Amino acid sequence: VVMQFFTDPEIGDAISDFIRFWDKYKNQEDSAVRYLSKVCPYLSVISSDIPPKILYKTVEEFLKIRPKGNIGSKKVWDADDLNRFRKAKTCLIEAFENAIPYFSLYLKKDSVFTASTLAFFHDLGIVAGYYFELLRTIKRQVNGVDFNDLIQLTKEFLRSNQDIVKQHIRPRYKYILVDEFQDTDPAQFDIITAITGDLKPETKSLFIVGDPKQSIYLFRNADVTRFKEAQNRILNDCRGNHINLDISFRSCREVIGCVNHLFSGIFASAEKPWEFGYEPIRVYDGRKTIPGSITVLLPGKAPKGSGRSDTKEIEAGMVADLVHQIVSTGSLHITDQEGVPRPAGYGDIAILIERRTHLSSYTNALSRKEAPFYVHGGIGFYSRQEIYDLYSVLSFLLRPFDSAALFGVFRTPWFGLSDPALYHVVHVKGAKRGWSLYEKLKECAEIIQSSNDCPSGKILPFSTSDQEKIVRASRLLEKWGKLAGRVPVVSLISEIIRESDILTIYGAMEQGEQQAANLTKLIGIIRGRTEGGYYSLFDLVSDMAVSISDEEREGEAALDTLSQTSVNIMTVHASKGLEFPVCILCGTHKKFNKNDIIPNILIDKSLGMASKLRDDTGFARYDTPMR
């Protein structure tokens, strides 16, 4: 970029004109001459040979000098000189503004941070080299290829064997339609054009369908600029047609009108290769008479010092209030598929969220309003409490000395021990130093049983109900512990569910039907894994730990009646292709966070690679120079 700047003849002529005009008019009193007197000392030292740091500082100082208005008097200047001066000024300012970001990309050779940067890239190169060599070795050993190999090998074959393509492949495909074209990467597009051949006016075989605003596969090298390029080639080279699919068969006039108004401004620019203008949507004639409405909720700000979660709680509460109001009052009418108006019910409502981070805020708010809900579309399963409770039970059976897992089990509906009961288990009389919680539980249960056998004995300091729960917990855990590792995991879990009577307990709870269905679904998942061969309790606990910690995207068990009579909660991405009469779009107040799209390591074909490294304290992170 720097060399292009200094070899540009227009820029070179502009610098020469400035210096020449300064020498010619320096004794004149004029605004343009005063401007030249300030900037020419900087221009005289600018060259490709000076150190990058000095070059950057010099250009930075040049751009700080900004004269106001159209400087230069016709009384002082020759008309041709003045016109040439003004063009040169515009040229230099634009050129320096475009180039200064690149002039700033220099390494401070004596900087500790520069040394850390170079060391990091050196280490990264070693690790990357080892990784790719290991990957190639593994693929050779199994005689396999990965997804990228399939694309590249296909591209290379088609490009290098055009005679075979012309004779055997191209005649087989009279028409080629590429759907979701916005997610096509350059290599895939090369495969398409290798099959179709050169795009000419007589080429009538290629159809591309897509929405460039929905391009989501940048991580897979999808290049949305190819959409515009392919579009232009079909229109110009093939003299094809451009058809906008701009009719909505699902929505109503009010919603479409609002969307058109908002996005026509947001997507107004289409100048850059990756920008695409907004095409207004029209309502299907058959839905023009169906009424609709838009409601905007404006949550108040959380108290000063509150976190994001507090703001989200406020929004979730307003959403739950709106759902309750819609259903309880019957004030919002919708038109069903038969065209008959009726009041909206829970099953007609979808709550759309960006991500599952604050999912519990919405579920808790709906629960407080006693509104049934159904979380689906790939979120929620492994974060459900009933799944985590069973995981705690299985973790304890695998490791009986895991007191943390056992604490979790005690507080769940499986055993439901109160705080006083837990206190007395932990501080049971006679416990030896180093005993696990399970050993204390057994000791406590024996004391209770011996006390029951001798009614005249000492009165225990907790309720009869807690005593029964402690004895029951000790008995069941001991029995399940004897089965663990000796029976198949599906049989073990089925026995645990049966003897604990947990399904009956869930039946009396607010979301009991969903909780029971989720346990049934988990058994189905585990049964599927056991069909692949030996699957131990250790394997199961390990897999569940990974799924819970990674928040694996597994949908809750599908309940036809529940999903049809409950509020549906899902991510915006998971809602694609679905239709609900009432949609509540949450989190629209959130500002765009560029950190969501900036990776820790950035690679550019022309500039190289940059990363974020921590400073000496290990806390603050700084952008490295490109290398």
**pLDDT attached to residue 626:** 46
For 398-414, write each residue's pLDDT tens digit. Answer: 988 888 888 888 888 88
Band (pLDDT 50/70/90 cuts) for residue 597 is: low
**pLDDT attached to residue 301:** 72
Position 541 pLDDT exceeds 50: yes
CA distances from 90 to 5, 7, 42, 63, 93 (A): 15, 18, 17, 12, 5
Range of weakest confidence among 12-21, 174-183, 196-205:
196-205
Q: Yes or no: say if 76 and 42 are a contact pair by the CB < 8 Å rule.
A: no
Q: Rounded mean pLDDT of 372-395?
A: 78
How far apart, in whole angstroms, are the C-alpha atoms of residue 599 and residue 596?
8
What residue type is assigned to position 546 of the chain?
V
Band (pLDDT 50/70/90 cuts) for residue 129 is: very high
Put residue 219 in one of left, alpha, beta given phi > 0 → left and psi -120 to 50 → alpha: alpha
**pLDDT attached to residue 306:** 63
Q: Take residue 227 and report the two structure tokens written for it.
A: 């959409």
Q: Rounded mean pLDDT of 61-80?
A: 87
| β-bridge partners, 602 | 610
How far apart, in whole angstroms, are the C-alpha atoms of residue 100 and residue 304?
41
**pLDDT attached to residue 554:** 47
The DSSP line for 82-124 is HHHHHHHHHHHHHHHHHHHHHHT----TT-HHHHHHHHHHHHH
Q: Yes or no: say if 383 and 359 are a contact pair by the CB < 8 Å rule.
A: yes
The answer to whether domain 308-377+563-585 and domain 382-547 are alike in fold is no
- Mean residue pLDDT of the chain comes to 83
**pLDDT attached to residue 551:** 58
Q: Which residues contact 281 (CB under 8 A, 6 or more apart)?
A: 246, 247, 248, 256, 259, 260
Tell me which of 1.20.1560.10, 1.10.486.10, 3.10.129.10, 1.10.3720.10 is the CATH number of domain 382-547. 1.10.486.10
For 79-128, write each residue's pLDDT tens digit. Answer: 899 999 989 998 999 889 888 888 877 666 677 777 788 888 889 999 99
Tell me which of 3.40.50.300, 3.20.10.10, 3.30.1050.10, 3.40.50.970 is the CATH number of domain 308-377+563-585. 3.40.50.300
E strands of 528-607, at which residues?
567-571, 582-585, 601-604
What residue type is assigned to position 293 of the chain?
S
Domain residue limits, the chain: 1-104, 145-243, 308-377+563-585, 382-547
User: Topology of 145-243 in CATH?
Assistant: Rossmann fold (3.40.50)
Position 22 pLDDT exceeds 70: yes
